[in-house]
Chain A
Amino acid sequence: MGDVAVEATGVSKRFRLYHERNQSLKAAFMRGGRAKFDEFWALQDVDLQIPTGKTFGLIGHNGSGKSTLLKCLAGILVPDKGSIAVHGRVSALLELGAGFHPELSGRDNVYLNGSILGMSRKQIDKSFDEIVDFAGLETFIDTPVKNYSSGMYVRLGFSVAINVDPEILMVDEVLAVGDENFQRKCMEKFADFRADGRTVVIVSHALSTMRTMCDEVAWLDHGKLLEVGRPQDLVDSYVGQSHDDRVAPEVEEGEEQSGRGARWGSGEVVIRSVELLADGAPATHVATGADAVFRIHWKAAHPVEEPVFGIAIHTLDGIHVTGPNTRDVELSTGTLSGEGWLDLHVPRLMLTPGTYELTAAVFDRAVVHTFDHRDKLLRFDVAPGRPRDQYGVVSLGGSWEVRGDSGAPA
């Protein structure tokens, strides 16, 4: 296998939009030909190289062509122009349990689905226990799948697909299945895949997942490939761009403009700035274990009931460290109007030394509507303090104790 696992060259895909979806011989005779249709280019001239052993993400709006591209790469759709070269065995998880036969038992379906995905009977025999174990369906494996719950159904589907042992795995928005426990198992499996040097191609709207999982992402818009690059950069510009159509609150005088990230929201309540206070005084850095206050300055032109404030702290390479908000602690913010501030008091800031970025946002009571979201509004440093931990992101603040055979501290 070379450096490139999947290579698309000038791929274009055209769909036919029928005016009247009348697929019959009768209609064909009446019209003297096939039904009239408009052309719609779902993909236009996409060039893409997916390197071997990397986790590659595809992002874009609904209808941007991500799924179409993935289907082309997986060989389900055939592009109208261009070519696709795939080096390695592909397993595509577009819809879990797509090939299941409802009347058959889980056991038979594992064999059926496995053979559709290109496994031999012997291979399935070998990994059967693993598949069932992974799906957690030992007791139900001989029950017809029509009696399965939808969760069981997709779990078995995922389990089969991932145990096919593919060199290239293509996944379309299926990571959000099953309960917490199963999702964790899936993520571990993906991590194993990466560690084994296999290639994964993911389409997802879960941008935080994309940010942490992918080595590289491609951004598609209206069927065209806009950019390929590091997920941190691309996801940010994608998020910024995708909110362009909303009304950005007017930037007012005296308002902090140093935020490097995107901003969006409807502006009923705006976040003017965020301050870091160390020992009660404004600061740009704070020591590990020290007392810190994050002060969010807000302004509301009209009274707003029970807004929810939240912050998120990320490391510079995009790891989401924490995301405290007023809703999770059931804090009532009352009705806000005019101007004011809100403090998050952290008695001991347990971040290890390094640079962090703070994002602040304010939402409506149900956390559905965003009033103001300010990405990476504040950058601050954490200096070495107590405890003196230096590795990782957080310090646990624990104390060590050693005992030997003598019973006395060594």
Chain B
Amino acid sequence: MLRELRGKYKGTALGWFWSLLNPLAATLIFTVVFGAILRVTPTVGANGVQNYTLFLLCALLPWNFFNGVVNGGMAAMLDNANLIKKTAFPRHLLVLSATVSLFVTFAIEMAVLAVALLVLGVNPILWLIPALILMILLAVFATGLGLMLSVANVYFRDSAHVVTIAMQVLFYATPVIYPLTLVSDVSPTSLVARLHIDSLYFLNPLVHYVEAFRDLLYEHQIPDLTTVLVVVLSSGASLWLGWVVFNRFAGRLAEEL
């Protein structure tokens, strides 16, 4: 099932390089736009380090992974239609293979980030194991969504459009490019507060994932209990629901494709 990984960049001369170039470009853009031009003040990390790029990467890399798994899962069935119609094998492997191959890339990116943190004076060694557990929980959460969307996309081919928009909203509804404190500090008279957007905000499980990553890697503190609970429960619920939905519809995949 390494097929995804090896097929993806084969034929392009720089191969693996491209898979790292993309997040690199995004990091550069966000650092310039939000760090330098809009002057978003990052929170103060461990050892008094205050660096927008590190602050950003601790959330951007998990976000990219999540985004990749959801989109990869969604495309998994349609891209492999021929395989599904002609061979018998457990169909969920297609979604899992997308997750696994993206997880490898994710892990490499996180390793690079860990080195960067070390170089810039925030030694993350002790926090790598909890971070790895968190990475796995995020993978489980995203896979559950991927499973659901993979079958939804077969039955409704325009699901992809809806999901693209949803992911765009979700990106800004998650504290990736700005600190969470900005949301908690909105003035009670503002439009955001009056529409209760700030209370809705915390219903987004990704907020908690991203905060947990930042707690562990950037600020070196244990995430609070609510965050931990939301992360653990949401990943379990997502996988369970994804599995149920997937199995409900997987039987007729070969004829619907």
Q: How far, in Å, is B252 (CB) from chain A's closest CB?
A: 7
Q: Does A31 contact B (CB under 8 A)?
A: no
Q: Does A9 contact B (CB under 8 A)?
A: no
The answer to whether A15 touches B255 (Cβ under 8 A) is: yes
Q: Does B82 contact A (CB under 8 A)?
A: yes
* Chain A binder among B118-126, B153-161, B227-235: B153-161
Distance, CA A188 to CA B83, complexed state (A)? 28
Contacts of B7 in A (CB 8 A): 101, 103-104
Q: Does B48 contact A (CB under 8 A)?
A: no
Taking a contact as CB atoms closer than 8 A, the residue among B1, B10, B88, B155 that contacts A76 in the complex is: B88
The answer to whether A92 touches B10 (Cβ under 8 A) is: no
| Residue of B82, B86, B87, B255 with highest tally of chain A CB at under 10 A | B87
Q: How far, in Å, is A154 (CB) from chain B's closest CB?
A: 13
The answer to whether B158 touches A98 (Cβ under 8 A) is: no
Interface size class of A (residues with CB under 8 A): 20 to 34
The answer to whether B87 touches A24 (Cβ under 8 A) is: no
The answer to whether B156 touches A25 (Cβ under 8 A) is: yes
For chain A, what secondary structure do more than half of its interface residues adopt (helix, strand, loop), or is it mixed? loop
Distance, CA A26 to CA B156, complexed state (A)? 9
Q: How far, in Å, is A112 (CB) from chain B's closest CB?
A: 5
Taking a contact as CB atoms closer than 8 A, the residue among B89, B162, B251 that contacts A118 in the complex is: B89
Q: Does B39 contact A (CB under 8 A)?
A: no
Contacts of B162 in A (CB 8 A): 25
Contacts of B155 in A (CB 8 A): 23, 34
Q: How far, in Å, is B94 (CB) from chain A's closest CB?
A: 10
Q: Does A151 contact B (CB under 8 A)?
A: no
Q: How far, in Å, is B83 (CB) from chain A's closest CB?
A: 5
Distance, CA A90 to CA B87, complexed state (A)? 11
Contacts of B11 in A (CB 8 A): 103
Distance, CA A184 to CA B196, complexed state (A)? 75
Contacts of A24 in B (CB 8 A): 156-158
| Residue of A26, A75, A92, A99 with highest tally of chain B CB at under 10 A | A99
The answer to whether B158 touches A25 (Cβ under 8 A) is: yes
The answer to whether A26 touches B158 (Cβ under 8 A) is: yes
The answer to whether A115 touches B1 (Cβ under 8 A) is: yes
Taking a contact as CB atoms closer than 8 A, the residue among A16, A34, A71 that contacts B254 in the complex is: A71
The answer to whether B157 touches A99 (Cβ under 8 A) is: no
Q: Does A233 contact B (CB under 8 A)?
A: no
Q: Does B194 contact A (CB under 8 A)?
A: no
Contact A98-B82, Cβ < 8 Å, known A24-B156, A76-B254: yes
Which B152-204 residues have C-beta < 8 A from chain A?
A: 155-159, 162
Distance, CA A28 to CA B252, complexed state (A)? 19
Q: How far, in Å, is B194 (CB) from chain A's closest CB?
A: 30
Q: How far, in Å, is A75 (CB) from chain B's closest CB?
A: 4
Which B61-116 residues have C-beta < 8 A from chain A?
A: 82-89
Distance, CA A74 to CA B254, complexed state (A)? 12
Distance, CA A39 to CA B121, complexed state (A)? 67
The answer to whether A76 touches B157 (Cβ under 8 A) is: no
Distance, CA A155 to CA B142, complexed state (A)? 39
Which A90-105 residues have C-beta < 8 A from chain B?
A: 90, 92, 94-95, 98-99, 101, 103-104
The answer to whether A108 touches B252 (Cβ under 8 A) is: no
Taking a contact as CB atoms closer than 8 A, the residue among A26, A78, A98 that contacts B251 in the complex is: A78
Distance, CA A94 to CA B84, complexed state (A)? 11
Distance, CA A28 to CA B84, complexed state (A)? 25
Closest to A15 in B: B255
The answer to whether A75 touches B88 (Cβ under 8 A) is: yes
> Shortest 7 CB-CB distances between A and B: which pairs?
A98-B86, A78-B251, A75-B88, A24-B158, A95-B86, A25-B156, A94-B86
A99-B83, A104-B6 given. 16 additional CB < 8 A pairs?
Answer: A15-B255, A16-B255, A24-B156, A25-B158, A25-B159, A26-B158, A74-B88, A76-B87, A76-B254, A92-B86, A92-B87, A103-B7, A103-B11, A104-B7, A116-B89, A118-B89
